[in-house]
Amino acid sequence: MVLPPVEVMRATQEAKDMNRTVRLVEAGELWLPSLVEVCTGLPGISFRTDNEPFKMAMQGFTQKIVGMMKSENLFASQGVPIILSQIENEYGPEGREFRPAGQAYINKAAKMAVGLGTGVPWVMWKEEDAPDPVINACNGFYCDAFSPNKPYKPTMFTEFVGTIRQRPVEDLAFARFVQKGGSFINYYMYHGGTNFGRTAGGPFITTSYDYDAPIDEYGLFREPKHSHLKELHRAVKLCEQALVSVDPAITTLVPCKSVTVGVQTSQMQMCGDDASSMTWKRYDEEVYSLAAAPLLTTTSLLEQLNVTRDNSDYLWYITSVDISSSENFLQGGGKPLSLSVQSAGHALHVFVNGQLQGSAYGTRED
């Protein structure tokens, strides 16, 4: 399949950014799994099932991304960090809803991916019926009881899942998966991230994925988690020869029920979120005349970033109201006129006849 020109341009630009990311990973002497997914809309499409428009779009997109990676020699078979690739994502529960069509789709997706000849294994997460040679991997909270669907496939732990957003250090550094033959652990997430400034999701929306990763969104170590994992990795590395040459033996510490290890190497103090602890800068934005601005009609407040495209902090709303001089509130003793606006995120400045009457901004409470 040949992607539409606009989609080719988008995929090409994204692939260039991906190439740069992989090169940065290589410079840091790290290994990298890659993931390819399609989420788009086409006429007659039915997502993630045995549907020809979707399969064609998915195949075209996957071929494009893999081709870009191969042309830059980014796979481990070419000497650099991409050691495995993922096709589809947690499809097991979805596939059971589609029944035979779901199984047919997953078989074709696996065959298509393997046929791209990346030279590295392909995996499917949370897919018990992953067809050979695709490896089914575990998404779970521990995964020490997990086994792949064939005895000759390696045991892989690809993602911590669940509703608990904080994992204690002794829980995250859980070695039983390695003791039972696990050969791959993907920390998801190892570096927790927040989108800062203009890349955040909007007023009162913090685009943050993980508050409890070993490295926080600022690149600072979260202790004792970071140091404890460092020691676990060192211990696994020291046991590398035994782990890869023979079946691992399991040793139970009896009568010990818990082991406490003092591994904290530093104390991190988080700054408060009050304004006095921050450094501020200001600039004056030129406000253009209304005559030069594009106009549109609306009956409610708009999502400002969608309208202004982040070109301005100001969005003007204008309305006209004719008020008779005989209105009660204009006479002595009458109730003052009030303006009520339902908004949780906007800051508003109200002018009447060109004169500023007041300012207000929404909060999470009102």
Active site residues: 90, 159
Inter-residue contact 348 to 341 (CB < 8 Å): yes
Sign of CA dihedral 284, 285, 286, 289: negative
